[in-house]
Structure 1
Amino acid sequence: MSQQQNITDVLMVGATGSFGRIAVQAAQHHGLRPRALVRDIRRAEKLLPGVELVHGDLEDPASLRRALHGADALVLTHGSGSDSRPDARAHIDYGGVRNILLALGDARPRVALMTSVCATRHDVPGANPWKRRSERLLRASGLPYTIVRPGWFDHADPTQRRLVLDQGGTADGGIARDQITETLVRSLLTDSALGKTFELTATDGEEQNDWSVLLSALKADAPRSVDGILDPANLPVTAEPQALRADLDAAGSPRKAG
Structure 2
Amino acid sequence: MSRNQNITDVLMVGATGSIGQLAVRAAERHGLRPQALVRDTRRAELLLPGVELVEGDLEDPASLRNAVSGAKAIVLTHGSGGDPRPDARAHVDYGGVRNILKALDGAQPRVTLMTSIYATRSDIPGTTPWKRRSERLLRASGLPYTIVRPGWFDHASPTQRRLVLQQGGTGDGGIARGQIAETLVRSLLTGTALGKTFELIATEGEEPSDWAGLFRALKTDESDSVDGVLDPADLPVEAEPQAVRADLDAVRPLNGSSV
TM-score by length of 2: 0.97
Distance apart, 1:128 and its partner CA: 2.8
Deviation per CA, 1:162-181, whole angstroms, max 9, x where unpaired? 00000000000000101101
Provide the secondary structure at the position in 2 that maps to 1:97: helix
Instruction: Name 1:225's counterpart in structure 2.
Output: 225
- Aligned partners of 1:256 and 1:112: how far apart in 2? 21
Instruction: Name 1:156's counterpart in structure 2.
Output: 156
Distance apart, 1:126 and its partner CA: 1.6
How many residue pairs get aligned? The number is 257
Provide the secondary structure at the position in 2 that maps to 1:183: helix
Identity %: 76
1:150 aligned partner, one-letter code: P
Would you say the 8 A contact 1:139–1:224 is kept in 2?
no
CA separation of 1:55 and 1:256: change in aligned 2, threshold 3 A: farther
2:214 aligned partner, one-letter code: L
Q: Which stretch of structure 1 is more off in the superposition, 2-11 or 89-98? A: 2-11
Instruction: Name 1:183's counterpart in structure 2.
Output: 183
Instruction: Name 1:28's counterpart in structure 2.
Output: 28
- Aligned partners of 1:224 and 1:35: how far apart in 2? 32
Deviation per CA, 1:58-113, whole angstroms, max 9, x where unpaired? 01111111001121100000000121111000000000000000000121100000
Aligned residue runs from structure 1 range 16-55, under 5 A: 16-55=16-55
Provide the secondary structure at the position in 1 that maps to 2:121: coil
- Aligned partners of 1:121 and 1:104: how far apart in 2? 30
Instruction: Name 1:201's counterpart in structure 2.
Output: 201
1:252 aligned partner, one-letter code: R
Gaps of 5+ in 1: none
Aligned residue runs from structure 1 range 37-76, under 5 A: 37-76=37-76
Instruction: Name 2:241's counterpart in structure 1.
Output: 241
Distance apart, 1:4 and its partner CA: 4.2
- Aligned partners of 2:5 and 2:113: how far apart in 1? 18
- Aligned partners of 1:68 and 1:107: how far apart in 2? 9
Would you say the 8 A contact 1:9–1:70 is kept in 2?
no
- Aligned partners of 2:2 and 2:116: how far apart in 1? 27
Instruction: Name 1:173's counterpart in structure 2.
Output: 173
Instruction: Name 2:140's counterpart in structure 1.
Output: 140
Deviation per CA, 1:20-40, whole angstroms, max 9, x where unpaired? 100000000000000000000
Deviation per CA, 1:199-257, whole angstroms, max 9, x where unpaired? 00011011111100000000000012000010000111111000100101111131789
Would you say the 8 A contact 1:24–1:34 is kept in 2?
yes
Q: Quote the RMSD (CA, aligned, Å).
A: 1.2
Gaps of 5+ in 2: none
Distance apart, 1:127 and its partner CA: 1.6
Aligned residue runs from structure 1 range 110-149, under 5 A: 110-149=110-149
1:27 aligned partner, one-letter code: A
Would you say the 8 A contact 1:118–1:128 is kept in 2?
no
CA separation of 1:255 and 1:41: change in aligned 2, threshold 3 A: farther
- Aligned partners of 2:5 and 2:140: how far apart in 1? 20
Runs of at least 4 residues off by over 6 Å: none
Instruction: Name 2:84's counterpart in structure 1.
Output: 84
Deviation per CA, 1:95-148, whole angstroms, max 9, x where unpaired? 000000000012110000000000000111122310000000000000000000
Would you say the 8 A contact 2:137–2:248 is kept in 1?
yes
- Aligned partners of 1:137 and 1:85: how far apart in 2? 23
- Aligned partners of 1:133 and 1:200: how far apart in 2? 19
Would you say the 8 A contact 1:116–1:131 is kept in 2?
yes
- Aligned partners of 1:58 and 1:139: how far apart in 2? 19
Would you say the 8 A contact 1:161–1:207 is kept in 2?
yes
Distance apart, 1:2 and its partner CA: 2.1
